[in-house]
Copies of this chain bind each other. A is one copy, B any other.
Amino acid sequence: MNRLYHVPLSPFCRKVRLTLSEKRIEVELVEERFWEQSPEFLRRNPAGKVPVLRLDNKLLSESQAICEYLDETHPQPQLIPRDIEKRYEVRRLCAWFDDKFHHEVTSKLLYERVNKKITKAGYPDSRNVKSGSSRIKYHLDYLAWLLDQRRWLAGDMMTLADITAAAHLSCLDYISDVDWNRHAVIKDWYAKIKSRPSFRALLADQVPGFPPPPHYADLDF
């Protein structure tokens, strides 16, 4: 049986879950307390991180590498376009979210507010939370600027760039940290991707101690 070792509120795990679901690859989800670094888990991934995907008895780690692999082994629907210039733009935007947005926003809000409590790593650092709350505005403005010119983030079709951005934003939306009223064009884009069947499992996620706000699972938010 294919299996994904994950945690519900990890943008990197969500990126892989969305990609698997878009490609209709069925996996069993197994929650992994990766921060405890059990020897068994470290055997599966010496990097000690989630997601780890067991697919056809092969163990895969690193979310972007997994998604590129899945797009090559299961080309339908295509999430990284064929055209070289467009492929670049998709990868640039994936890196924007997985690196810059993650560093400036996701880690400052989600990890301070949720992960620290779950992993018993202390209390939220209010300077980080303040910095994340301020930086997310800049990122939303950039997103809106892209969406003013394009139907989807990287062009005319939905790609891994949209999945990556939505994976991060959906985690932040779970803790009510996204101001959907800042740009109508972002709300429209998120409503489109949130309505996809691949998103359903994410909207059903429940993290003990952190109930999601009512609008989180509402398609008409």
Task: Tell me if B95 and A64 are in contact (CB < 8 A).
Answer: yes
Residue of B nearest to A63 (CB): B95
Answer whether residue A177 sits at the interface, using C-beta atoms and an 8 A cutoff. no
Residue of B nearest to A95 (CB): B62
Answer whether residue A130 sits at the interface, using C-beta atoms and an 8 A cutoff. no
Task: Tell me if B72 and A84 are in contact (CB < 8 A).
Answer: yes
Answer whether residue A44 sits at the interface, using C-beta atoms and an 8 A cutoff. no
**Which residues of chain A from 85 to 133 have any CB-CB distance to chain B below 8 Å in the complex?**
85, 87-88, 91-92, 94-96, 99-100
Interface residues in A, total, Cβ within 8 A: 26
Residues of B within 8 A of A85 (CB): 58
The 8 A CB mask of A50-75 against B (1 = contact, 0 = none) is 00000000101110111011001100
Distance in angstroms from A214 CB to nearest chain B CB is 34
Residue of B nearest to A83 (CB): B72
Out of B64, B65, B84, which one reaches A73, CB within 8 Å? B84
Residue of B nearest to A138 (CB): B46
Residues of B within 8 A of A142 (CB): 46
Residue of B nearest to A142 (CB): B46
Answer whether residue A204 sits at the interface, using C-beta atoms and an 8 A cutoff. no
CA distance A64 to B96 in the complex (A): 11
CA distance A57 to B85 in the complex (A): 13
Instruction: Write the residues of chain A forming the contact surface with B, with a CB cutoff of 8 angstroms.
Output: 46-47, 49, 58, 60-62, 64-66, 68-69, 72-73, 84-85, 87-88, 91-92, 94-96, 99-100, 142
